[in-house]
Amino acid sequence: MRHIISVLIENEAGALARVSGLFAARGYNIESLTVAPTQDETLSRMTLVTYGDEMIIEQIIKQLNKLVDVVKLLDLSDGPHIERELMMVKVKAEKGAREEMKRMADIFRANIIDVTDSSYTIELTGAGEKLDAFLTAVNDDLIMEVVRSGPLGISRGAKGLGL
């Protein structure tokens, strides 16, 4: 099963390496991992997407909690939550194809954020499936570069993950 886990971790040198090292050393799957400081600059927030059976996910959560730098974590998959991922795609947009590409961006509510006479750079935010759908919709030959942030997650409702 796929799980999306949010981790509040001390913003210390090596903290990220402890998490990625843990996944490598114990052979856990890791699909994506994003990390950035929070409003409290002593804390970073990590969102990681992993998969495994129930026993493995339980171990992943326990092992993460065991890291001395980890302050708090939440398995977002346990409850209602929102996921968003950012993608930027550089596509070929030449002559007659430009209009079609613009229309495609509009359909997906994407923004064109950079333009040359032969290319567009398109920005798209949404759940992972929406981003996948966009890539499927665009002809493979037209895609020059794709960069994705990996999902970010937050729980629904008034309660937040904080100290």
User: Which residues sit at the interface with another protein, rule CB under 8 A?
Assistant: 9-10, 13-14, 17-18, 21, 25, 55, 58-59, 62-63, 65-66, 68-71, 163
Q: Which is nearer to another protein, 9 or 89 (CB)?
A: 9
CB nearer another protein, residue 66 or residue 159: 66
Scan for tokens 């290319």, then name that residue.
Answer: 119
What's the closest the beta carbon of residue 152 comes to another protein, in angstroms? 22
Closest distance between another protein and the C-beta of residue 37, in Å? 16
Nearest to 128 by CA among 34, 62, 60, 44: 34
How far is residue 129's CA from residue 84's CA, in Å, rounded to a whole number? 10
Rounded to a whole number of angstroms, the minimum distance from the CB of residue 76 to another protein is: 20
User: Are 79 and 155 within 8 A, CB to CB?
Assistant: yes
Exposed / middle / buried, residue 38 (Cβ in 10 Å: 0-12, 13-18, 19+) = middle
Nearer residue to another protein within complex by CB, 13 or 158: 13
